[in-house]
Amino acid sequence: MERKRRRSSHVTQPTTNEKKAADMQAGDEASISCLPLEILEHIFSFLLRNDRLQAMSVCSTWKSLILKSSRLWRSQTYVFNCTLPITPKKKADLLFCVQHFGPHMQTLSIKCRHPCLYICQKMAHRFSLFLNGLKAQAITSFKVSNLGLGFTRTPALKNVSSTLAQMFARQRLKVFEMPKACWPAVDGHTVLDTVFQTSRNTLETLNINEYFFDRRLVHIDQDWFSSSLTSLTKLTKLSINLSYLTDELVISLARARRGELAYLSLWVKLHFSYTAPVIHDSWIYLTKACPDMEVEFKIESWSSKPSELIPAILDSTLPVRRLKLQISHSFGPLPRPAYQMEIVLDHVTKYYGERLESFKLKFNIEEFIDQSLLMLVRDCPRLIKVKITAAYRSSRTARTVDKIVTERRQSHLNNKSPPNKKVCTDKNSVDNTSRLEDPMEGPSGLKGASQ
């Protein structure tokens, strides 16, 4: 009898390994299923959109948390590529996202990718599909880059502009950015006027570089544009084509935003000839009214005379801190003339040397600028961000520029620790961009999410 009891006790008693396995299993279950919802929400906030959607199929608790969490969907970025086909599944996945998570969105960014600028007719249809499904209630920041509607057919344009106008009539925006949208005059006017009217007392950032297709506002009421722009009571950051401005508008803007305009970005495209629409005295008036204003210039030139046109645009009184120049071959018969870029660089050094912090130059012409470039870098003590794509007479030029700016950047980092400073002087260098999700590309992970 005693022997049987020993056998039974030996059989029912778990081994040490079994105890360890049971304890580990219990610990795993406790570490996942017993976490507070706030901790789970914080973990999900680090996941990409498709990963969050995939997590919805794990269990009903996760699905409910992800669907109802406003924190997870407060800021969203979408990428549209007009070269990718829209399958029924991708269309359904996109509509699922914008319908279920649109009410939570506060910051919405859309990046459009085209194989070639100004020839796309597909993006308007994809953008319209997105907008028609979007149920937005609390968007305060709306950013769309490189929409490129220039050659889009009229019905699609009407649909997009009317849908945007209806949406913006219910939103009070703080940020509105639509660079390179290339709207035709009438449709672009409809959208922009709604933004001006509804967000007059809330809009802080306005980016309308290349907003209109003709770039000259020849079909736009200048009085409407001037009165609408100067009526924005909170505007602190403005990015705009220089051709949209006039002397009267600059002076009116100075009076309306006296001491409040902190950032001004001017976009210029030079072709065969160009006449600056704003004179020197108007810029003086603006800089005196807004003494703390930072100015950025972005100039693209296909002119054969950049040495004459660019210095005329880069007014000596403007406090330019960031400058980007892209000089390409002009359209015309061969042989092409000398571009004399050293004149442009000497002008930048002379008038912007004390303030210039960022300088980017893309000079796709076999003309050597070594001496002027070295002088610019040496004589601009605050210049800590440089990117040069150009031909050098000597390979030492690139190394010297890199050495000067790197040492200056290290000294600046030790004193002020500015974020994300970089130096790039390699001729074939390419910027690395952050990886973004494309709702029209790749698996969305919606399997089981809507069940």
Tokens 């009317």 belong to residue: 162
Q: How far apart are CA 179 and CA 184, in angstroms?
A: 14
Instruction: Report the amino acid identity of residue 45.
Output: S
Give the model's pLDDT for residue 418.
46
Q: Nearest Cα to 426, choosing from 395, 380, 393?
A: 395
Give the model's pLDDT for residue 391.
83
Whether 5 shows a pLDDT value over 80: the answer reads: no
Q: Using an 8 Å Cβ cutoff, are 392 and 425 in contact?
A: no
Q: Using an 8 Å Cβ cutoff, are 369 and 345 in contact?
A: yes
Q: What are 149's two structure tokens?
A: 């509607």
Whether 422 shows a pLDDT value over 70: the answer reads: no
Q: How far apart are CA 241 and CA 375, in angstroms?
A: 30
Q: How far apart are CA 343 and CA 311, in angstroms?
A: 8
Q: How far apart are CA 391 and CA 367, in angstroms?
A: 7
pLDDT above 90 covers a percentage of the chain that reads: 40
Q: What are 373's two structure tokens?
A: 């470039």
Residue 269's φ and ψ, nearest 5 degrees, are -120, 120
Lowest mean pLDDT among 108-122, 141-155, 226-240, 350-364: 108-122
Q: Using an 8 Å Cβ cutoff, are 353 and 379 in contact?
A: yes
Entry field: residues in the chain = 451
Confidence of residue 428 (pLDDT cuts 50, 70, 90): very low
Confidence of residue 135 (pLDDT cuts 50, 70, 90): confident
**Maximum pairwise Cα distance, the chain:** 113
pLDDT tens digits along 91-106: 888 888 888 888 888 9
Give the model's pLDDT for residue 69.
83
Whether 42 shows a pLDDT value over 60: the answer reads: yes
Confidence of residue 315 (pLDDT cuts 50, 70, 90): very high
Q: Using an 8 Å Cβ cutoff, are 364 and 391 in contact?
A: no
| Cα three-residue angle 257-259-262, rounded to 5 degrees | 85
Confidence of residue 325 (pLDDT cuts 50, 70, 90): very high
pLDDT tens digits along 65-77: 888 888 888 898 9
Average pLDDT, the chain: 81
Confidence of residue 225 (pLDDT cuts 50, 70, 90): very high
pLDDT above 70 covers a percentage of the chain that reads: 80
Full strand arrangement of the beta sheet holding 320-327: 75-81, 107-113, 141-145, 175-177, 205-208, 237-241, 263-270, 294-301, 320-327, 358-363, 385-389, 423-424
